[in-house]
Structure 1
Amino acid sequence: MESKTKPPGLGVLSRRQFIQAASLASLGLYFPGVLTAKPSGVPGHAGEFGELNATDPGGIDLYLEYRDLLVGGKPGRAIAINGSIPGPVIRMQEGREALIRVHNRLNESTSIHWHGILLPFNMDGVPGISFPGIPANETFTYRYPVRQNGTYWYHSHTGLQEQLGHYGQLIVEPAGPDPVEYDIEYSIVLSDWTFEDPHRVLWKLKTMEGYYNFQRPTLANIDEQMRATGMSMSEVLQKRLAWDRMRMDPTDIADITGATYTYLMNGKAAHENPTFIARPGQRVRLRIANASTMTFYDVRIPGLPMTVVQADGQNVKPVETDELRIAVAETYDVVVTLPDDRAYTLFAETMDRSGYARGTLAPRQGMAAAVPEQRRRPMLTMADMGMMHDGGHGGDQAMHDGMHAAGVSEPMSHQDDGELPVTNLPDRIRHGPDEHGPASITMAATAYRRLDYPGAGLGEDGWRVLTYSQLRALERPYGRRPPTREFDLHLTGNMHKYIWGFDGRKWSESDMIRFQYGERLRINMINDTMMSHPIHLHGMWMDLYAGADDYGDNPRKHTVIVQPAELLTVDILVDAPGQWAFHCHLLYHMEAGMFRTVAVVRSLEGGPIDVGA
């Protein structure tokens, strides 16, 4: 096996670019940071990012500023990090100290959150919770020990800045041997971009439900609906009326679609076709991070199986698959091998099928493969509303319990001094009384486990699709012991008013969630909404109950997809004093209230631990 190599840099420079770069380089010897600037009046291209190592002696510098960049060939106003979107790939070495100076050249406050990285809470980068933010024209120094390895990413946690390009990838090299064998690796950063002001996008969502949903069933396309479903006109109309009575739309797969979004891979639009070079027989590691604000991607390489070796930076037992769904904020590492001297398309199709990002894996530059046709956009079914006899693995069936069913609730929440079970957990939970207020307008009577369900629109092509039920930790994670306390947490929403929250309340109306330091805690997440939510906990790992027979095999994640009508369970080792963010990673959902503050306390009746004492 030949030595591992890193991806090429920014490509070949023209003679004119070389002369300009040489002139700037001579200045850069005397004025550090000048290389982040472009000649006046010459917009750069998104996707021209480099690489830095934050654990090298002296650390690194990041420069944040507004830039006019060409995104997909069109001019846009972005928050660039060291001159581009995404920002540079930041490498670190496990066991060393990261040193990162962030220079805010914006005219507003900003921040950087190191997504999935375990660190002191005052280095976590969440304004108002772990630090005040980085004021305009000031510098903030992040310094923390690197205690893990794997693929992660970083982004702003200030307002809607992430939508403007404020993100990048993190790669942490292991201190010891890497269990993943590969010859060459590439960063794959998926994202979404709008030329609209993000605040105007949010205003549109709040003022007109489904503003960007141009795929709704209407009388005008009823023939298409009949062909797609095989139903008669009467059956299609009856189904449409049933959804209306529930105040739902079966096409509400994504709030924001290709109607405004340009979908990017490494900052490049699909027609720009970023190319990743590998020779036949080489094992290629693709480090995939979904740095989108709102977009789930379905990733596949037609004709080439992928072996999943890492999820959210944590090594897993290898799983060969043909396709995987990656939520906002998740990361997956896959290994592929080119079998022959031809190109393959790396295809990232949006969950709602309104667009795609695309690149090429090939032996040489200039090669390309066919781009797959986009599939028909999926529709939600009664299974997504908890109305299934069989636990949600089939299509529409008769209603099992009905919506808002009356009766005695069967909550799982309780506190116990004894250990809770760790295998064969209940398959479903009845909703119980509706006490969730105006931020929740639709609730399935029953939520159930959907660990082996690939998601809406997947699993019908004959391809293998990765599911959470297939993920198993490569080695037993530290701190893996049974929990002794649990509570239920409902994911709630009101699409008409665009209000999102937990337990029917927005962040502004909520108290802190208290975790007791040293405890092993279980949270049963229950999705009362019709949408999938990527839920992220800062500062601590979530051990996902994935149905493993051995408790030590369940995977460890920092972000989990909770699908419609799903009951999903995570166990947490509370080992990080301070205050932490806990939220949906759909940016506009978080901004609209789906966010809570977690306080790690010495006792459940007390306040947060003073970590400075």
Structure 2
Amino acid sequence: MPLISRRHFIAALGSTAAVPFLGRAAFAAKDETQLTVDTRVIEVRGKAAKVYRLDTAQGKQGFNFDAGQSLRLSLTNRLSEPTLVHWHGQTPPTEQDGVPMLSQPELKPGESYSYDFKPRAGTHWMHSHVGLQEQKLLAAPMIVRSRADVAADEQEHVVLLHDFTFREPAEILAELKAGGGDHAAHSGGGMSGMGNMSGMDHSKMAMPAPDAGAMLNDITFDAFLANERTLDDPEVVKVEKGGRVRLRIINGAAATNMWVDLGGLEGEFIAVDGNEIEPVKEKVFPLGIAQRADIRVTLPGESGAWPILFRPEGLKQRTGIVLVAGDGTIAKIGAEGDMAPAVDLAMELRLRALKGLAPEPITRAEMVMLTGGDKDYVWGLNGKASMHDTLFTVRHGERIGIMMHNMTTMSHPMHLHGHHFQVVDINGQKVQGAMRDTLLVPPNAMVTIAFDADNPGNWAFHCHHLYHMNAGMMAAVAYVNAA
């Protein structure tokens, strides 16, 4: 059993989280964790809201797990509608990936399904992959701690971010598709009407001017949440004077890219999407939809209170938590600040994987155009809107490159299931970048990722902006037998 450091003990005493996130899995590898999908009521700015919950038998949302164990759990659906959970960042067998139509059927009300696979270490999360359920908070952290994590003498704190609306998500999507909502004022500029472009010479295509008609947010939210709380009543995390804290931050927002702003503190970016990187020191860090950031912060040696703010791009609204040491005084924090800029790839250019892909050439490259976004709110890949159609096929053992070109005027956080990829080119600049499972592709950007085809099956490849995905920006990467 690992020793509990003094910092862990202080944190446990001082935590005031509204929701008991991340109970450590107190069971041996042979035991099975019970995970239940149900509903609950939370309060957002004094108003009650019925949302989903995804918790263990101990009543905790999400869980910690130690790497090296086999993850055995039983997922039970207590909703009155079908659901299914995807283990974001994990690489299970394809039939356990939690995507309807590609990996397994939806769980009907009252049904259960057992999972058994070896988890990858790192900061990950789990969320519904059925319709728009994720928008109603059907998500939870999934932290898998390595031996080094367990041995480290540092406090850890997990933050799950959400964009929140009191409206029904289905109504929002219907409004967008009808040409209404915030997208109604958007100038379009997408390429949804171009059909399948797989055989076209992309080098001769006319590209939209940089930032022409760009749009950062196409949905208005009622609040932004950090561990389900707003800055009206933020989570207060007790820390030790001069202590070291590892913040594991998950952007579980449905449609909002964010910035992590450490304010008066400086931090080290040490991992992205659960994969270690060469440390980068900064005060502000980008975090696209579905991405995760591990940031290590060393506190000053005196009492104090330090807000950690999460700022949605293109907005003045913000949310956050507060780190408090000793008898530090917590000042009132305004729910609005300066308008946050667009999340871009400047930081991505600086990231280097501690352990990247083995040095071997790409076997085959695929061009994927990110398309759509006109007033009809149809999005797609290579000019085609779909959900489960095969985008391209791969053979086991290949090294695949995907060059993505965003032809639309909105950013797209592109997520590949079942694999981790390395960023190898950003707008023509070769890099030995971070290992990720989700990469933000801004308007007009061209980025190339590479991955090893080492996990046979049918795998989803999609934009993680929930409304873009459900309006067609999703397809599959399918393995075929070797010739």
TM-score norm. by structure 1 comes to 0.68
Q: Which residue pairs with 1:38 in the alignment?
A: none
**Does 2:453 match 1:566?**
no
Q: Structure 1's 587 and 509: CA in aligned 2 closer, same or farther, altered over 3 A?
A: closer
**Aligned partner of 2:83 among 110, 118, 124:** 110
- The answer to whether the 8 Å contact 2:366/2:403 transfers is yes
The alignment partner of 1:280 has SS state of coil
Q: Within 1, Cα distance between the matches of 2:97 and 2:309?
A: 33
Q: Structure 1's 54 and 543: CA in aligned 2 closer, same or farther, altered over 3 A?
A: farther
Q: Which residue pairs with 1:172 in the alignment?
A: 144
- The answer to whether the 8 Å contact 2:307/2:323 transfers is yes
- The answer to whether the 8 Å contact 1:64/1:105 transfers is yes
The alignment partner of 1:199 has SS state of helix
Q: Percent same amino acid at aligned positions? A: 30
Q: Structure 1's 9 and 582: CA in aligned 2 closer, same or farther, altered over 3 A?
A: farther
Deviation at 1:55? 6.4
Cα-to-partner distance string for 1:207-226 (whole Å, 9 max, x where unaligned):
2345378999xxxxxxxxxx
Q: Structure 1's 186 and 209: CA in aligned 2 closer, same or farther, altered over 3 A?
A: same
Cα-to-partner distance string for 1:423-457 (whole Å, 9 max, x where unaligned):
xxxxxxxxxxxxxxxxxxxxxxxxxxxxxxx629x
Q: Which residue pairs with 2:280 in the alignment?
A: 319
Gaps of 5+ in 1: 13-44, 217-244, 380-453, 457-465, 605-613
- The answer to whether the 8 Å contact 2:260/2:309 transfers is yes
**Aligned partner of 2:354 among 460, 474, 496:** 474
The alignment partner of 1:289 has SS state of strand
Q: Within 2, Cα distance between the matches of 1:467 and 1:4?
A: 30
Q: Which residue pairs with 2:463 in the alignment?
A: 584
The alignment partner of 2:81 has SS state of coil
Equivalent residue runs for 1:199-348 within 5 Å: 199-211=170-182, 250=213, 252-257=215-220, 260-339=221-300, 340-348=302-310
Deviation at 1:52? 4.0
Indicate the larger mover: 51-60 or 154-163. Answer: 51-60
- The answer to whether the 8 Å contact 2:217/2:255 transfers is yes
The alignment partner of 2:135 has SS state of helix
- The answer to whether the 8 Å contact 1:46/1:71 transfers is no
Deviation at 1:82? 3.2
- The answer to whether the 8 Å contact 1:535/1:562 transfers is yes
- The answer to whether the 8 Å contact 1:256/1:294 transfers is yes
Equivalent residue runs for 1:33-432 within 5 Å: 47-53=19-25, 56-57=28-29, 58-82=31-55, 88-146=61-119, 148-174=120-146, 176-178=147-149, 181-211=152-182, 250=213, 252-257=215-220, 260-339=221-300, 340-363=302-325, 367-369=329-331, 371=333, 374-376=337-339, 378=341
The count of corresponding residues between Structure 1 and Structure 2 is 453
Q: Which residue pairs with 1:455 in the alignment?
A: 344
Q: Which residue pairs with 1:404 in the alignment?
A: none
Equivalent residue runs for 1:427-438 within 5 Å: none
The alignment partner of 1:8 has SS state of helix
Q: Structure 1's 182 and 8: CA in aligned 2 closer, same or farther, altered over 3 A?
A: same
Cα-to-partner distance string for 1:468-521 (whole Å, 9 max, x where unaligned):
11111123x354422121121000112311011101110159544211111001
TM-score norm. by structure 2 comes to 0.86
Deviation at 1:572? 1.1
The alignment partner of 1:140 has SS state of strand
Q: Structure 1's 364 and 61: CA in aligned 2 closer, same or farther, altered over 3 A?
A: farther
Q: Within 2, Cα distance between the matches of 1:54 and 1:513?
A: 42
Q: Structure 1's 347 and 128: CA in aligned 2 closer, same or farther, altered over 3 A?
A: same
Deviation at 1:177? 2.8
Q: Within 1, Cα distance between the matches of 2:242 and 2:151?
A: 16
Higher relative contact order, chain-length normalized (CA < 8 Å, sep 6+): 2
Q: Within 2, Cα distance between the matches of 1:132 and 1:9?
A: 43
- The answer to whether the 8 Å contact 1:64/1:82 transfers is yes
Q: Within 2, Cα distance between the matches of 1:468 and 1:525?
A: 15
- The answer to whether the 8 Å contact 1:87/1:167 transfers is no
Q: Within 2, Cα distance between the matches of 1:11 and 1:202?
A: 37
Q: Within 2, Cα distance between the matches of 1:309 and 1:533?
A: 24
Q: Structure 1's 212 and 71: CA in aligned 2 closer, same or farther, altered over 3 A?
A: farther
Q: Which residue pairs with 1:494 in the alignment?
A: 373
Structure (1 or 2) with the greater strand fraction: 2
Deviation at 1:537? 0.2
Gaps of 5+ in 2: 188-207
Q: Within 1, Cα distance between the matches of 2:76 and 2:13?
A: 24
Q: Tell me the amino acid that sits aligned with residue 134 of structure 2.
A: E
Q: Tell me the amino acid that sits aligned with residue 328 of structure 1.
A: I
Deviation at 1:59? 2.6
Q: Structure 1's 588 and 351: CA in aligned 2 closer, same or farther, altered over 3 A?
A: same
Cα-to-partner distance string for 1:510-551 (whole Å, 9 max, x where unaligned):
54421111100111000001111100000011111157xx99
Q: Within 1, Cα distance between the matches of 2:35 and 2:263?
A: 37
Deviation at 1:81? 2.1
Deviation at 1:51? 1.2
Q: Within 1, Cα distance between the matches of 2:116 and 2:127?
A: 17
- The answer to whether the 8 Å contact 2:423/2:432 transfers is no
Q: Which residue pairs with 2:423 in the alignment?
A: 544
Q: Within 2, Cα distance between the matches of 1:366 and 1:197?
A: 40
Deviation at 1:179? 10
